[in-house]
Amino acid sequence: MALLAAVVVAVFLVAPVFIVVPMSFSTAPSLQFPPPGYWLGYYRQYFTDPRWLYPTLNSFVIAAGTMGLTLALAVPAAFALVRHRFRGKTLAYLLLMSPMIIPLVVSALAYYSFLGRLRLTGTHVGVVLAHTALSVPIALLAITATLKGLDPNLERAAMSAGAGPIRAFWWVTFPVLRPGILVGALFAFLHSFDETVVALFIAGRAASTLPKKMFESIRLETDPVISVVSTLLFALVLVGSLIALLARSRGRRAA
């Protein structure tokens, strides 16, 4: 009984794949399913239209920037939170995690007026700053989870054998931590790449991201190219999951 229900729910979860992927090869100019015929025309349209390519490029640039900045902030913070006990830790943790709890619309509104005053709305820098604040908690969760499993005695052993703290970090801590950092980086990248609400408010025209373009396109014209983009995004998630799986299995071997 429970098993049957589980399978039905799983089918419900994957249903969109089976709709959207065939749609991307459809010849229909509107939302018609099953498709009346198949071709690759909308793929050609996506790969030649700057109105789609430019936001795609923006999304990659912004997600990469967000990933880098997020790691620079989250890796040291994860060390402080896992390795140390100190007064004010709960408060620090609450501040770092708050972007995960606060509704995106509220964050988006806050950014809109704040970045507007700094003249950063509609710029790549503005979107990277906004996305980084939202990605820090997600990356932090991934990195602290790995760090909790790392025995500090490994580093002590390296240091008692004559390695300085930096060499101990580079040769002992970092290799063990790498899968956690990789997963944290992946989460930050995908989160920024997917994020819609904040981008809608602050990205403007010049820094318009792919989700913003998709939202506007779905709302205004339901351009069939959306199903092409959706299919490509599925492919991206598949590749991302494979990377995460590989990182996990390599991490398990290393640990």
Partner 1 sequence: MAGDLAARPPAPAGRLGGPWLLLAPAIVFLALVYAAPLGQVLVLSVTDPAVSLAHYRRVFTTPLYLTVLATTFRTSLVVTLACLALGYPLAYAMARRPGRLAVALLAVVGMSFWTSFLVRTYAWMVILGAKGPVAALAHALGLGRPPQLLFTTFSSTLGMTHILLPYMVMALYAVMKKIDPGHLRAAASLGARPLQGFRHVFLPLSLPGVVNGCLLVFTLCLGFYVTPALIGSPRDMMISQLIAQQVDELLAWGFASALSVVLLAATFAAIAVYTRVAGLDRLWG
Range 175-234, binding partner 1 (CB under 8 A): 190, 194, 196-197, 200-201, 211, 214-215, 218-219, 222, 226-227, 230, 233-234
Total residues at interface with partner 1 (CB under 8 A): 94
Contact 81, 144 (CB under 8 A): yes
Stretch that binds partner 1, among 39-47, 48-56, 102-110, 247-255 (CB under 8 A): 102-110
Listing DSSP states for 40-52 in one string gives SHHHHHHHH-HHH
Q: Which of 121, 132, 135, 192 binds partner 1 (CB under 8 A)?
A: 132
Q: Which of 63, 67, 127, 129 binds partner 1 (CB under 8 A)?
A: 129
Alpha-carbon distances of 226 from 21, 46, 193, 216, rounded to whole Å: 11, 9, 16, 11
> Residue 121, interface with partner 1 (CB under 8 A)?
no
Q: Can you tell me the distance from the alpha carbon of 124 to that of 27, in angstroms, rounded to the nearest whole number?
A: 35
How is residue 164 written in tokens?
Answer: 């300085």
Q: Look up residue 192 and give its amino acid.
A: S
The least CB distance from residue 238 to partner 1, in Å, is 7
Listing DSSP states for 146-177 in one string gives HHHTS-HHHHHHHHHTT--HHHHIIIIIHHHH
Listing DSSP states for 95-138 in one string gives HHHHHHHS-HHHHHHHHHHHHHHTT-TTSHHHHHHHHHHHHHHH
Stretch that binds partner 1, among 38-46, 50-58, 60-68, 149-157 (CB under 8 A): 149-157
Range 7-66, binding partner 1 (CB under 8 A): 7, 9-10, 12-17, 19-20, 23, 28, 30-34
The least CB distance from residue 185 to partner 1, in Å, is 15
The least CB distance from residue 206 to partner 1, in Å, is 18
Q: Which of 25, 114, 178, 248 binds partner 1 (CB under 8 A)?
A: 114
The least CB distance from residue 175 to partner 1, in Å, is 15
Cβ atoms within 10 Å, residue 114 = 15
> Residue 73, interface with partner 1 (CB under 8 A)?
yes
> How much helix, strand and coil, in percent to the nearest 5, is found in the chain?
80, 0, 20
Stretch that binds partner 1, among 43-51, 60-68, 106-114, 246-254 (CB under 8 A): 106-114
How is residue 177 written in tokens?
Answer: 């931590």
The least CB distance from residue 50 to partner 1, in Å, is 20
Q: Which of 3, 50, 161, 162 binds partner 1 (CB under 8 A)?
A: 3
